[in-house]
Structure 1
Amino acid sequence: MIRRWPMTVGVNLLLGIPGVVPIWLLWFLTANWIHPEPTENDGMALWLMIVIPVVGLYALLWSVTNRALARRTSLAARSYWLLSVTGTLLPTTALILMYP
């Protein structure tokens, strides 16, 4: 049993580094869907063909890793998933704060 929470944060921090790409893709897709660029006339089909596989593979990797790790930890479920999401979002948050 993993009794400490640093392992949870560490693994999710490492998962958050490549996770910057899917998070950015989701933000970019949402931003262009809500407020489309006037000169952008290619449509969203190409973006969806890129975003769906990238985000899907990352979500699969993240969920499989965290489910395996969650079984080995002694943290409560709510605490575990809160730490997991926080650790995953830390690299993206650091980039947003460093390069506004």
Structure 2
Amino acid sequence: MTRRWQMALGANVLLGIPGVIPIWLLWFLAANWLSGPEPTDNDPMVLWLPIAAIIVGPYAMLWWSVNRSIRRRSVLTPRTYWPLSALATFLPSMALIIYSS
């Protein structure tokens, strides 16, 4: 039985390594949609939506299924478990952002 938070933290950090790509893709879509397209950009952002669905959808299902199975065996409360899982998933992306500048 998973009694500690280390199992959730470790699994989500490992899920965050391939998760760098979907996280970056979601950031890219949000940044371009909010700021508007470049004046010289000929490619519409709608073409990125199928790409995002193909990449983000399976990753989100994998992340959810792994965390749901770990959550069932954990004694952490849902109020503690889900923020810990989400933050741990973002750790590899944050490390890339910090060390790339």
TM-score range, shorter chain: over 0.9
Who is 1:37 aligned against? 38
| 4+ aligned runs moved over 2 Å, structure 1 | none
Who is 2:17 aligned against? 17
**Structure 2: gaps spanning 5 or more residues:** none
Who is 2:61 aligned against? 60
2:82 is equivalent to residue 97 of structure 1: no
Distance between the aligned counterparts of 1:79 and 1:45, measured in 2? Answer: 37
Offset of residue 45 of structure 1: 2.3
Offset of residue 29 of structure 1: 0.9
Identity %: 58
SS in structure 1 at match of 2:17:
helix
Deviates more, 1:33-42 or 1:19-28: 33-42
Offset of residue 34 of structure 1: 1.9
Q: Which amino acid aligns with 1:42?
A: D
- Count of residue pairs brought into register by the alignment: 100
Distance between the aligned counterparts of 1:86 and 1:27, measured in 2? Answer: 16
Give me the TM-score of the superposition, normalised by structure 2. Answer: 0.93
Deviates more, 1:9-18 or 1:37-46: 37-46
Deviates more, 1:43-52 or 1:86-95: 43-52
2:39 is equivalent to residue 51 of structure 1: no
Q: Which amino acid aligns with 1:3?
A: R
RMSD over aligned Cα, in angstroms? 0.9
